[in-house]
Structure 1
Amino acid sequence: MLVRDTLSSEESEITDIQEICKPLPISVFLTTPIILFRIMSRAHLRHQTRYLLLANALLSDLIFVVFYMLITCLNAASVLMSDLACGAFLFLMGVLYSAGVFSATAIVVDTSLAILAPLRYATLWPTSRTYGVIVATWVVSVFFPAASVALFLWYHATGPCTQLICSLPLLLVLTVSHSRPLQVCMLLTVTAILVILLLVVAGYVALYCHSSKSGVWRRERSSRAKGTFLIHYLHLFLSVCPILLLVIELLLYCNSTGLNPSADLWISLVMCNVLLVLPKGLAPFLYGLRYRDLRGPLLDFFGLNRPRAITPVM
């Protein structure tokens, strides 16, 4: 009876949440392909590490949103799914999300080398090494979600009932909340991702402190550097929020048995359908409008790049 009530509640409430966050995936589909095409079609951009790492992060976000929208459409159409198919979807989404986290880590390492060792930067991090770093981010990203999905399949294989709706908020409420091994495994996984994100933030703080001592922030062009740091901090803060909320929710699962299913469902819905997609929907605008080489195509696409009138000098 609880499962049936939760299913009906999830179907009605998830529709309202998805109507609110519908512009976020649309913005990703509109802007990210433009940025990726711009980077891949320009030879001077393909030979810069920062653009290659940015393209890798945006590509993982784009594919993540594609799978997110696919699962959303399947749930809206009441399509039933086996545990194996659902586990495959969750595994791919976990790999894509982890790839985005490791891409952010690679970006901060690249920026650190460019600022701390500018004379040796080309030797320490050539373009050929960047491709190896990108491949490594995807390989390492496989290990984080593999354990959680394996435990998910084991739990449903030994459980008395089968859940045929592949919805991440519903899985958190009906599956993770009742399985202590899943709680511990997911808690370790998301804690590791949270630690990595916090290390990325600490890296940017260290770069800010190092560059402020050199007097960069007192020059006339410091506003551009401040804007770049602000973009990185905002994007990382939005990325940390859902992971931090998931850690809190898992800790409540482990230490409490009297949680309200309705409140728990709302927290999971907001976390999975809003906070998880928000940084991916804003990233193309934050980075695309910041870099001069990427700003022009975006403004041209939206019809905002109007030519300025030139006044002749007499």
Structure 2
Amino acid sequence: MTPSIQIANITQDWVESLRRWHLELFFIPTTVVTLATLVANPVLLACIFLSRALRQETRYLLLANTLTADMLFLILNLATVICNAVGAQIPWLVCELVTAVTVTAYCCAILTVTLMVADTYAAVRWPLHYHDILPPARTHRILVGVWVVAAVYPFTLLIIMEAGREIHHEKVPVCLVLISLGFIQLKNTVGIHTYFFVAALICATLIFYCYIRLYMVTKTHGIWQRRFSRARVTLLAHGVLLLLYFAPGFVFTLELFFFHRKDISQDVRVWVSTVNMCVFMLLPRAFAPYLYGLRYREISDTLMQLLHQHRRLSHITVS
């Protein structure tokens, strides 16, 4: 069976399961959550980049990079969900390109969130030398490196697949990251799982190490004594958000494992993929602007100043 026929059969079966269970209706909550997040994220980005003090701070630059990667992911995810819901015929090359960019945005967000934890540890561990260790110029280079690292593997796969493909004009009725990577997995069973597992293991190990060291460094300061201390609440909130960021990746790895299993029902695969794509992937990106953004007093103060200036200008204009 040729690759084109395999792709056509897989996508057609997927569409039939979507229609049978009316899962295309998931585009409604996906659209609502995405639009709400795309309203909040630009506001926080404006607060960061319009304030000279904030854009000189490493933690706010990392936050801005996370929000930017999340916005790119949400836009591509929403476009994919809508196209799949209306049954639009998408060129396979476009689908592969969207897959590569989506994986890049997701991995970039995970890497940046991991760096945010490491940045917090560095600020607490070496407060006197922190600004010398991570000046803004070095942070900019680190962020460029994060995007490059996140993009290398998915775009390498894209180039390899395109170089070995004979037909370049076929179209598919459904475009999913799972189908694109699942099809690549036919030829490289170990590579994709190894990439996601190693990347997740490195990030999780660094996060756990930083949190353990943070606790050991700060336990003598008395900030952990009260049950509802700010440190405990912050740690709990960040822990939940990190879990929400990492969980969809592990679910996606499970999806790849199920993709070619004959003993797994097609309906089960479609349900798991749809829920992960339309719910689990959106939860951390919906919470992030409010947890990471509004909990920072400097961002809240900057936002209030911008609103106050806007109201004053509006009042002057009306007068």
Q: How many Å separate the matches in 1 of 2:252 and 2:218?
A: 35
Q: Does structure 2 conserve the Cα–Cα contact (< 8 Å) formed by 1:32 and 1:62?
A: yes
Query: Given the superposition, is the C-alpha separation of residues 2 and 291 from structure 1 closer, same or farther in structure 2, using an over 3 Å criterion?
Result: closer
User: Can you list the C-alpha shifts for 1:135-187, whole angstroms capped at 9, x where unaligned?
Assistant: 111111111322443455468x369x955134216616xx7279532443321
Q: How many Å separate the matches in 1 of 2:49 and 2:10?
A: 51
Q: How many Å separate the matches in 2 of 1:301 and 1:29?
A: 19
- Structure 2: segments with no counterpart, 5+ residues: 1-8, 308-319
Structure 1 residue 199 and structure 2 residue 205: aligned? yes
Structure 1 residue 113 and structure 2 residue 118: aligned? no
Matched residue, 1:295: 300
Percent identical among aligned pairs is 24
Identify which of 259, 262, 269 aligns with 1:257: 262
Matched residue, 1:94: 103
Q: CA deviation at 1:9?
A: 2.2
* Runs of 4+ in structure 1 over 6 Å off: 219-222, 297-302
Q: How many Å separate the matches in 2 of 1:177 and 1:90?
A: 12
Matched residue, 2:271: 266
Matched residue, 1:143: 152
Query: Given the superposition, is the C-alpha separation of residues 154 and 249 from structure 1 closer, same or farther in structure 2, using an over 3 Å criterion?
Result: farther
Structure 1 residue 127 and structure 2 residue 136: aligned? yes
- Structure 1: segments with no counterpart, 5+ residues: 303-314
Query: Given the superposition, is the C-alpha separation of residues 158 and 186 from structure 1 closer, same or farther in structure 2, using an over 3 Å criterion?
Result: farther
TM-score (norm 2): 0.81
User: Can you list the C-alpha shifts for 1:206-227, whole angstroms capped at 9, x where unaligned?
Assistant: 2342234323424679822223
Query: Given the superposition, is the C-alpha separation of residues 259 and 177 from structure 1 closer, same or farther in structure 2, using an over 3 Å criterion?
Result: farther
Structure 1 residue 226 and structure 2 residue 229: aligned? no
Matched residue, 2:196: 190
Structure 1 residue 168 and structure 2 residue 162: aligned? no
Q: How many Å separate the matches in 2 of 1:276 and 1:284?
A: 15
Identify which of 247, 250, 255 aligns with 1:241: 247
Q: CA deviation at 1:23?
A: 2.8
Matched residue, 2:83: 74
Moved more, 78-87 or 145-154: 145-154
Query: Given the superposition, is the C-alpha separation of residues 230 and 300 from structure 1 closer, same or farther in structure 2, using an over 3 Å criterion?
Result: farther
User: Can you list the C-alpha shifts for 1:256-309, whole angstroms capped at 9, x where unaligned?
Assistant: 43211111111111112211122112111111221112235668999xxxxxxx
Counting matched residue pairs gives: 298
Query: Given the superposition, is the C-alpha separation of residues 221 and 19 from structure 1 closer, same or farther in structure 2, using an over 3 Å criterion?
Result: same
Structure 1 residue 63 and structure 2 residue 81: aligned? no
SS of the residue aligned with 1:167? coil
Q: How many Å separate the matches in 1 of 2:213 and 2:234?
A: 12
C-alpha root-mean-square deviation of aligned residues, in Å? 3.1
